[in-house]
Structure formats: structure tokens, C-alpha cells
Structure 1
Amino acid sequence: MCSGMRSISKSKFAVRKLLQQCVTVSKLEPCIGLSFCNLTVMQSTPLCQNMSTGVRTRNINPRTEHYIASDVKCTSVRQKSDSVLHESYTAQEGSDQKEEKKEEKEKEWYQSSTFKGIAAVTATSLTVGSLAYLMHVQGEPMRTESGEIIDDEFTGKWNGNFSRAIQRYINPSREQLLPEPLQPPYYQPPYTLVMEITGVLLHPEWTYETGWRFKKRPGVDYFFSKVCPPLFEVVIFTSEGGMNADPLVNNLDPHGAVMYRLYRDSTKYVNGHHVKDLSYLNRDLSKVIMIDCNEKSFQFHARNGLKLKKWTGDNDDKTLIDLANFLQVVGSSGVEDVRTVMEYYSRFDDPMGAFKENQRKLEEEKQRRLAVASSQDQKKNWFWRK
């Protein structure tokens, strides 16, 4: 009997200890019970209080009171944890607001007139300083092989270096754009033909699908076959940059009819235009012919130039064929000064049309003379027959 009572008391002690360990059970559970020796302990919740469990109140009151007290403790713990979480969230929210305010202040500073003024002054100072340094370096005077300075028109002036740099930018990159004419036993063609490529030999086109493309003018191959040596020394002189124009010339002239190539660095910059100063070519100007579609490009030597209409991509164009025939006639005629011929044809809006008309008249005159000569021969023959 005593042993049975002792086991029951031990069991009750174990139940009480187990209940103490389970005080943190969540209230979300509708009903939690522990059964031992026909004794059921129910969680004291409104849902469980309204449920019929079949257990007498007197048997569970001590356990329920203990559980309620434990639940109060759990609630206080939860409230503390919630307060701690709320404080941490509030602190984080406050730090985020501080960061946002800091960013707004930085944006306002960058957008302020003070910052813009400082940035403008800094950028201007750096730009001016860099340009001044580059112009000073580029404007250094020429020196001999021993290192002595060569005097020029800017020597002794306070802005000598800057003046030299400006002149070197405006003027061609070197004093002689072409080498000395070939001497015997090598052959030097008697005439020099200077050609522009853009608008004369090529037409640039741009589309969204293909970007920049260059269309080859009809008759280019025939033209180079007629104006190549021995009559002409062909020089490509264009206002385009060398990196862009050089591969174009390679495609235009696969057989090497072009002897020299000159690009934008060889021009003289005057009033917004890249002028081709023929006096830098190191050739006799009485034997130089300039072909271009922009008369401002050869404004210093208008008598040497022949202006053609700018080609716009017409596939039926035959100007180059007529031009090749014209130049071949000039070269084979042995003209002493080509400037007289160029000056004459420059008066016409369509020089090649005027040349073709003159050729037609010459051919008619030739036929008329042949007819007259033939008639005279017939008369002579008739006289001797008599």
C-alpha cells in the first residue's frame, strides 16, 4: 500500500515537473493535454473552457492555476521580446531616415549653384592649362642637329611658342608634301594630277541598317587606266583623315596607279575650310591640275583647279569617262601651261559638257577639211587626166 502511494506521489511530481517544462507552449494550439493515471490537464483557454472534456474541475484546478501563472510569465517574455524587436526596428528605421536625409543633402549640394560654379571653374582651369601646356610644347622652335635654335619670325616674342603652335596647326604638317621629282635614269611624268575622292570618286551613304558606306563612282577603273604614267603623276589629296581615307584609296586603286597620298594634315585650315595649298607640293604649278567638287578647297590656286559637280550616287553617271578623255587630250598635246586650259574650262558650269562640244566641233572641222582636201585631190586628178 505504501509503495502504491509512493508511486502515485512520484507520478504526480513528474506531471508537475513536466507541466513546468511545457509552460512555453503556444496559445495557437487549441487544446493541449497530458494524461497520466486517468488525470487530464487542459490548457485554460476560452476555447478549452467551453469544451466538454468530461474531467471534474476539482481535479484540474491546481494544474490550471499553475498553467495560467506560467502563461502569464510567457506573455511577459513575449512582450519584452516584442518591445526589443520594436525598438530595434525603430532604431533601424531611424538610421534609414538618417541615410535618406544624408543622400538628399548630398543631392542638394551637387545641384546647388556653388558646386556647379566650383566644377565649372575646375574644368575650365584644367582645360586651359592642358591646352597651354600642349601649345607651349608644340610651339618649340626648330633646332639644328647640334641643338642650336633656328631663328624665325616669332623669335624673341613673348608669345612665340603659342604663335608657332597655331601656325603649325593651321599650316600643312611639312614644308614639302611631295619628294623631289625623279631624276634620270628614272622617269618623271610631265604632269601632276591632284584628285579629291569624296564627291569625285566616291559617294558616302549612311543608313541605320548598314552605317557608313562609300559607293564607287562608275568609270573609276577606266579613269585610272587613262591617267596613269607616263602622262600623269597621280596624287590623292583629300580633306579626309588618313585613318578613314587610306583603306578607301586601297579599294579604289588596286593596281597602284596612285603614286602619292595626302590627307587632312597636309591641308591649310582657313576660315573653317581645309584648303589644299598647291605651293607645298614641290612641283611646277604650270604642270599641276587639281580636280575637286569644292572650289574653296583650291581657292589659293584657282587657275590650276577644275570644279566638277558633286556626284550624289547616280549609277548612269559618265563624268569620269569624259574627264579621262579630257586629261588624256591635255597630256598628249604637250601643253606648256595647263593653267590656261583649266582657266578656260572653269568658266563653264559643265566643263566636261563644254569639252565634248568642242571635241564634236573639232571632229566636224576635221571631217570638213578632209572633205575639202578630198575634193581638191579629185580636181587635180581630173586636170591631169585631161
Structure 2
Amino acid sequence: MAAFMCSGMRSISKSKFAAKKLLQQYVRASKLEPYIRISFCNLTVMQSNPSYKYMSTGVDLKNVSCRTEKQIASGVNFVSLRHKSDSVINESHIINEDSDQKEDKKEEKEKEWYQSSTFKGVAAVTMSSLTVGSLAYLMHVQGEPVRTESGEIIVDEFSGKWNENFSRAIQRYINPSREQLLPDPLQAPYYQPPYTLVMEITGILLHPEWTYETGWRFKKRPGVDYFFSKVCPPLFEVVIFTSEGGMNADPLVNNLDPHGAVMYRLYRDSTKYVNGHHVKDLSYLNRDLSKVIMIDCNEKSFQFHTRNGLKLKKWTGDNDDTTLIDLANFLQVVGSSGVEDVRTVVEYYSRFDDPMGTFKENQRKLEEEKQRRLAVASSQDQKKSWFWRK
């Protein structure tokens, strides 16, 4: 019985030693496997058949180290080794899946944080602070006082106040960008037209249209070319004065006036901002207002100089419209008549809902009166010639 137990203990110890040795050989083989790129099945075949000692499916065994050959010759059971390698690979996949799950949970937590009300509140406060700070800085810089060439500060109505820079910046924002919007009138030997015509483009010369196919486009009003050919110098100094921004309006004016009839262009920065509207203050034009006519479709645009402004109906894209042709004839009559103060003429026609229709009717009556007088004069001449025949 004792002998049997001793033999059993020896077999157990031998099995433990064999298992330990097998594990060491597996670790060594697993370290070498990525470099020799050979499967355990091929190794088993080569062990059983010596003729395949230096043959393999696409593998040059000459590069295999002597250590690996000893392991092959030691009779290792590669089938069990393969099962163990598969278990180790499965364990590595499980570890990778656990790490992926942890990363997914981390990303979900980050998304929840970005979508939380706390993050949105912090972001809103930060953006508001940056915006207010930037505006305050810009207002401070824009509100700096004007200095002379020597660097001395020019005293104005805001000097000495605690908020002088802020008040000065606000005043500069609501007022035109400069004191004189147009240069001084030309002097001899250059020619200065006697009258100044100030025109809006939106609703007068152009109509914005939007479609799904083209987006925003500007339609040219019928008679634009004829209009500019009649009101250009020497009768009028044409000035485009619009409440649109310069970056948007300047290309439109280039397309409207390819021949250069427009002498000056004024945009939104030249207007005065009053009660939410950009007003065109004609007193900044540096021109005699008795010789200035303004054409617009919004009476608020010339609310400071109603006697100079002629309001026309806003053009909505009608292809049969003839307003510009009638307006060109009207301005040609005014310019060629040598009117001393155009405000009297503009004020008269501004009383009617359709100024150009009224002008055409007056022209028709004037032509009829002219024809009647010619007929009367012709009849009197005939009577005189008959009397002298007698």
C-alpha cells in the first residue's frame, strides 16, 4: 500500500513537472510564433515525417533558430498547445472588449456632459462675457477723441464726461462716417453740373427676387439704360445713395451703370441711424440743397428734407413698367428749364400719389395748349394774308 502511494506521488510530481515544462515551452513558442509565421499544424507534420524537416507551406525554415528545432524535437504535444493558445487569444479578446466598453462609457459620459444644462449654462455665460467685453473694447477704441496733427485732443461736447468714449462711439455710429460725403464742387476749367440727382437703387432701379433654383437675384428695371443716358452730365451730377451695404451694392451699381454715368456712390455708412431706420441726411452732401433732387420709394429715407425728396411707387418687377422713362423726361425738363430752386417743383409733384402720371398729364395738356396756340396763330396769319390781298 505504501509502495503504491509512493508511486502515485511520484507520478503526480512527474505530471506537475511535465505541465510546468509544457507551459514554459508554450511561452517560448508563443513568443517566437509571430516571427517565424508558422502554424502548429505544420510543426506537427514536420515532426512526424523527417523528410519535411526543411519544408513548409511558403516558410523558409532555415531562418528558424536552433532553439526552435530543439523544441520541435522534444515531442511537445502541439495540439494541446494550440488549444491553450486559443484560450489565451480568447482572453485577450475579452480584455479588448472590456477596454472598448470602458471607452464607450467614457464617450457617453462626455456626451452627457456636453448636453447637460450645466455645460450649456457655462458656455452661454462665457460667450456672453466675451461678446460684451469685445463690444466694450471696440466702443472704447471707436470713441477716442479726435486729435490734431501735433497730437493734441480736440475738445467736443462729450469731453469731460465719465462715459465720453462710449457716448462719442454711439454718436459716430448713428451719424454718417464723415462730415462731407461728397468732395467740393469742381471749379473752372472743370465743369460742374448745375443739379445733383440722388438715387436709391432697391425698389427704384432694381428688384430683388428669390427662387429655389437661383436663390437671390436682382432684376433690372425697364428703361435703366435710357434713364442714365438722359440724366448724365451736363445736366445732372448723379449720386447713388443707398441704405444697402457697400459690399453688396457696389457690384450691382457696376452692372447697372457700365458707361460711368454715376459720379459718386454712397452706402449705409453714410446714412444716419434714427429710430431703427437709415436716414439719408442731405445736409452732409456738401451741395446747395436748392439744386438737389432725391428719388426714393421710402419717405422715411429723406424725412429730414421732404422738400427735396420725390417718392415713387416701389417697383415689384413689372416688365411693362415705364416709370424710369417718364422720370428721365421729367428731370430733363427740369434741368433744361434752368429752375432756380428745384424744391418748388419737387414739392408740387410730391402731393400726388402718382407724380410721373401727373407730369405726363401736365405735359399732355401743355402740348395741347401749344397746339391750340399754334392753330390760333396760324389762323390769324391767314386772316392777315387775306386782308393784304384785298
Normalised by the length of structure 1, the TM-score is 0.78
User: Does residue 247 of structure 2 align to residue 220 of structure 1?
Assistant: no
Structure 1 residues 25 and 378 mapped into 2: Cα distance closer, same or farther (>3 Å)?
closer
| Higher deviation after alignment, 367-376 or 128-137 | 367-376
Residue 204 of structure 2: SS of its match in structure 1?
coil
User: Does residue 108 of structure 2 align to residue 104 of structure 1?
Assistant: yes
Residue 339 of structure 1: SS of its match in structure 2?
helix
Determine which of 153, 166, 172 is the counterpart of 1:168.
Answer: 172
Structure 2 letter corresponding to 1:338: V
1:125-152, Cα deviation, whole Å (9 max, x unpaired)? 1111111111111111111111111111
C-alpha distance in structure 2 between counterparts of 1:110 and 1:242, whole Å: 40
Q: Which runs of 5+ in 1 are unaligned?
A: 1-23, 35-69
Residue 133 of structure 2: SS of its match in structure 1?
helix
1:148-174, Cα deviation, whole Å (9 max, x unpaired)? 111111111111111111121211111
C-alpha distance in structure 1 between counterparts of 2:296 and 2:190, whole Å: 30
1:258-295, Cα deviation, whole Å (9 max, x unpaired)? 11111121111222222111111011111100011222
Determine which of 204, 207, 230 is the counterpart of 1:203.
Answer: 207
Question: How many correspondences in the alignment?
Answer: 325
Structure 1 letter corresponding to 2:185: P
Residue 371 of structure 1: SS of its match in structure 2?
helix
Task: Find the counterpart in structure 2 of residue 305 from structure 1.
Answer: 309
Structure 1 letter corresponding to 2:88: V
Task: Find the counterpart in structure 2 of residue 15 from structure 1.
Answer: none
C-alpha distance in structure 1 between counterparts of 2:256 and 2:85, whole Å: 84
Superposed displacement of residue 381, structure 1: 4.2
Determine which of 303, 315, 320 is the counterpart of 2:319.
Answer: 315
C-alpha distance in structure 2 between counterparts of 1:75 and 1:375, whole Å: 136
Task: Find the counterpart in structure 1 of residue 260 from structure 2.
Answer: 256
Q: Residues 367-378 of structure 1 correspond to what in structure 2 (within 5 A)?
A: 367-378=371-382
Q: Residues 1-386 of structure 1 correspond to what in structure 2 (within 5 A)?
A: 74=78, 76-386=80-390
C-alpha distance in structure 2 between counterparts of 1:162 and 1:25, whole Å: 86
C-alpha distance in structure 1 between counterparts of 2:385 and 2:230, whole Å: 43
Percent of aligned positions that are identical: 89
Q: Which runs of 5+ in 2 are unaligned?
A: 1-39, 50-74
Superposed displacement of residue 385, structure 1: 4.7
Residue 207 of structure 2: SS of its match in structure 1?
strand
C-alpha distance in structure 2 between counterparts of 1:192 and 1:157, whole Å: 40
1:106-129, Cα deviation, whole Å (9 max, x unpaired)? 112112222111111111111111
Residue 188 of structure 1: SS of its match in structure 2?
coil
Superposed displacement of residue 74, structure 1: 4.8
Residue 305 of structure 2: SS of its match in structure 1?
helix
1:310-353, Cα deviation, whole Å (9 max, x unpaired)? 22222222111111110011111121211111111112121111
1:329-382, Cα deviation, whole Å (9 max, x unpaired)? 111112121111111111212111100000111111222222333333444444
Structure 2 letter corresponding to 1:96: D
Structure 1 letter corresponding to 2:233: P
Structure 1 residues 25 and 115 mapped into 2: Cα distance closer, same or farther (>3 Å)?
closer
Q: Which protein has the larger Cα radius of gyration, Structure 1 or Structure 2?
A: 1
C-alpha distance in structure 2 between counterparts of 1:235 and 1:85, whole Å: 83
Residue 303 of structure 2: SS of its match in structure 1?
helix
Normalised by the length of structure 2, the TM-score is 0.77
Structure 1 residues 98 and 383 mapped into 2: Cα distance closer, same or farther (>3 Å)?
same
C-alpha distance in structure 1 between counterparts of 2:233 and 2:242, whole Å: 21
Superposed displacement of residue 383, structure 1: 4.5
Structure 1 letter corresponding to 2:143: G
C-alpha distance in structure 2 between counterparts of 1:103 and 1:127, whole Å: 31
Superposed displacement of residue 207, structure 1: 2.9
- What RMSD in Å do the two structures reach over aligned CA positions? 2.4
Superposed displacement of residue 384, structure 1: 4.6
